[in-house]
Amino acid sequence: MHVDVADLRDFYKSGLGQMVRRIVGHRIRARWRPTPGGVVIGLGFASPYLGAFCGEAARVGAFMPEAQGALIWPSVGPARTVLVEEERLPLPDNSVDRVLVVHCLEVAARSEAMLREIWRVLGPEGRLLIVVPNRRGVWARLDTTPFGVGRPYSRSQLERLLTGAMFTPIDCDGALYVPPFNRRLLMRSAVAMERVGSRISPAFAGLLMMEARKETSAPVGKPVRAKALRDLVTAPSGGRLVLNK
């Protein structure tokens, strides 16, 4: 079950959510260098991490599943939000350079079908970066944050899922060694805890961040044509649009 977009918005506005945004955003930027002229898509609720790409990529889009709902992003300038069916993305084949998946895979109804759709829209040698709750971590055990909802993954489970969808896992990092408690002292020491945790207990990170490359050694079935959901004022039946306040 997807977390409602209003709850995701409120989490990232909180002190704990802002700390998560800084730590995870730093890890994403350390892995994905500038992409001048590229196309970068976020699937799920990736908008807190997409802003860094807006000044360099040719196109940046926040694709939000209709089961989750969508909010208009960014708050200033042209809207880059698209309300989508996660298994039918309104994009041509081989049209995207990088896809960032956050708050999506762990709650997807059919994760394999979603990954095959991502495979379809990624260009040759395109890169996928997935952020999911770590099965061994504390964040997956508490439902006080969005990372405590859905199915957490181990590294081996994520690798098998990606390999089955014709991706080659490249690397996997952990993030969020700080406990998921909104305590000022913990948040002040979060950076230090990240450094220590990554050295002495990497298996117990709160999140897994796995990067994979698209493989083209085998054919993929003919995709079902998706209907583009361009109008952000009227949501489709079952979906909803939440304005960013």
Domain annotation covers residue 181: yes
- Cα distances from 37 to residues 54, 56, 60, 101, in angstroms, run 11, 7, 10, 21
| C-alpha–C-alpha distance, residues 20 and 12, integer Å | 8
Domain annotation covers residue 94: yes
| Average pLDDT per block of 10 residues along the chain, 245 residues long | 94 94 93 86 97 91 96 92 95 96 96 97 95 95 94 96 96 90 75 80 90 76 49 42 49
- For residue 13, give every residue at least 6 positions away whose Cβ sits within 8 Å of its Cβ, in sequence order, or none: none
Q: What is the pLDDT of residue 171?
A: 93
DSSP 3-state of 199: helix
Domain count, the chain: 1
| C-alpha–C-alpha distance, residues 39 and 63, integer Å | 13
Domain annotation covers residue 225: no
Q: CB burial class (10 A; 0-12, 13-18, 19+) of residue 25?
A: middle
Q: CB burial class (10 A; 0-12, 13-18, 19+) of residue 3?
A: buried
Domain annotation covers residue 244: no
DSSP 3-state of 133: strand
- Omega before 223 cis (within 30°)? no
Domain annotation covers residue 221: no
- Do the strands 96-102 and 241-242 form a parallel or antiparallel pair, or are they unpaired? unpaired
Residue 138: give the domain boundaries: 5-214
Q: What is the pLDDT of residue 189?
A: 76
Q: What is the pLDDT of residue 197?
A: 79
Domain annotation covers residue 188: yes
* Domain harbouring 166, CATH code: 3.40.50.150
Q: What is the pLDDT of residue 217?
A: 65
| C-alpha–C-alpha distance, residues 175 and 134, integer Å | 9
Domain annotation covers residue 165: yes
Q: What is the pLDDT of residue 234?
A: 36
Amino acid at 204: F
- Do the strands 241-242 and 207-214 form a parallel or antiparallel pair, or are they unpaired? unpaired
Q: Are 43 and 23 in contact (CB under 8 A)?
A: no
Q: What is the pLDDT of residue 225?
A: 52
Domain annotation covers residue 28: yes
Residue whose structure tokens are 């395109």: 126
